[in-house]
A = this chain, B = another copy of it.
Amino acid sequence: MGDGARYTLRALAQALGVPLEGDPDVVVSGVAPLESAGAEHISFLIDRRRATAARASRAGAFLVAVDAPPLPAPVLRAAAPRLALVRLLELFAAEEPAPTGTHPTAVVEAGAHVDPSASVGAYAVVEPKAVLGAGVRVGPFVYVGRGAEVGAETILHARVVVLDRVRIGRRVIVHAGAVLGADGFGYAPDAGRYRKIPQIGGVVIEDDVEIGANTTIDRSTVGDTVIGRGTKIDNLVQIAHNVHVGADSIIAAQSGVAGSSRLGRGVVLGGQVGVADHVTIADGVVVAAQAGVIGDLREAGTYLGTPARPVGETRRVWAVTVKLPELARRVRELERRLERFERGAGGATAEGGESPERG
């Protein structure tokens, strides 16, 4: 948290543009979870399922939604509580260190273009013809390959690898350990062995994208792998070669998108989702965690399961699935009853009396 940041509730109400219910002179010095907050903290109640925890909290104040129940401390009541929380956390966030130029241990090769307002961390390597825009912040151990471009105000955290000719837009955040532009996974079978298909394309990361720690985004065979403007990608995600992800999408941790698939705008993939190759996913599709998308999803909506199907269908299937042993018993019982009945009814139904085929 911001070292020594302290605010009165009056100041916070003003900064957030929301009404305060309670003593405006109360001072808080941090934001804390409901369970661990003390009188010196402000906490928050946005998810109504946390109401009981909020009532039991010792926080000195709360940021809440307009329909929140009464709480035992002053409240800031926000019509858009998540956005208010963003602002609140920004107020308490640690100051970003000012760009400090190029660390003496950084290797900026001749022919690299580094804007004077950019900073380059310890032991970073910037290859020839790479371009770092205004205000770019390159962390320690970052590698920026030959001819790669990094747009203004973008942050590459420690140990990010940006390989040759990858193009990154403005205000992008790439977390530690991500690898952008490794070779796509392509081979041509040749007499029982595999020959590598050269991957001579690139990667384009548009503006305002965020990419998680140790995530990998491969360069395309030809053309570009593209991550659309504003899309947010979590940790340990795999984006294969030739994939296009539309703008304002969300890809949660450990999901993977196989080669040449196309995701529309505003797509959401939950955690550990798999998308097969050459699949098209329409704008606004939400795929629930662990689902497997093996064919096109052409309609907006939520999909679940492997193969991924509309959530209602999968839920209905799952509801029956858990009762399958009972269903099997009922079928056996029907067979017994019908057999007894057929036997009891005698010759009248003899033509229906053969035994059912059993596997």
Are B193 and A182 in contact (CB-based, < 8 A)?
no
Query: What sequence of 0s and 1s flags, for each residue 224-252 of chain A, a beta carbon within 8 Å of any chain B beta carbon?
Result: 00000010101110101010000010101
Asked if A206 is at the interface (CB within 8 A of a chain B CB), the reply is no
- Which 7 pairs show the lowest CB-CB distances between chains A and B? A326-B359, A340-B352, A82-B188, A89-B198, A33-B223, A182-B213, A320-B324
CA separation between A73 and B352, bound complex, in Å? 67
Partner of A125, one of B36, B122, B195, B335: B122
Could you pull out 13 A-B pairs where Cβ atoms are within 8 angstroms?
A: A30-B222, A36-B223, A85-B188, A125-B141, A141-B159, A187-B250, A272-B274, A290-B306, A313-B322, A317-B325, A321-B324, A330-B357, A333-B357
This chain's copy number in the assembly: 3
Question: Of the candidates B94, B235, B358, which one forms a contact with A218 in the assembled complex, judged by CB atoms under 8 Å apart?
Answer: B235
Does A212 interact with chain B (Cβ within 8 Å)? Answer: yes
A337 near B324: Cβ-Cβ < 8 Å: no
Contact assessment for B188 and A86 in the assembled complex, using a CB-CB cutoff below 8 Å: yes
B residues near A317, Cβ cutoff 8 Å = 321-322, 324-325
Would A356 and B338 count as touching, CB distance under 8 A?
A: no
What residues on B are CB-neighbors of A345 within 8 Å? 341, 345, 348-349
Pick from B86, B157, B187, B324: contact of A197, CB below 8 A.
B86
In which size bucket is the chain A interface? Answer: 35 or more
Contact across chains for B356 and A196 when beta carbons are under 8 A apart: no
Interface string of A304-332 (1 = CB under 8 A from B): 00110100010011111111111111110
Is A1 part of the binding interface, using a Cβ–Cβ cutoff of 8 Å?
Answer: yes
Contact of A222 among B89, B163, B216, B333 (CB under 8 A): B89
Are B344 and A351 neighbours in the complex by a CB distance under 8 Å? Answer: yes
- Per-position contact with B for A187-224: 1 when CB-CB < 8 Å, else 0? 11110111111111000000010101110101011110
Task: Give the Cβ gap from A112 to chain B, nearest Cβ, in Å.
Answer: 13
Is A300 interfacial (CB-CB < 8 Å)? no
Bound together, the chains give a CA A203 to CA B264 distance in angstroms of 35
A157-B182, A177-B216, A193-B248 given; name 6 further pairs at CB < 8 Å. A82-B189, A83-B190, A140-B143, A218-B235, A258-B271, A330-B331
Q: Does A185 contact B (CB under 8 A)?
A: yes
A33-B242, A176-B161, A176-B163 known; A253 vs B256 contact (CB < 8 Å) = yes
Shortest Cβ distance from residue A47 to the other chain B in the assembled complex, whole angstroms: 8
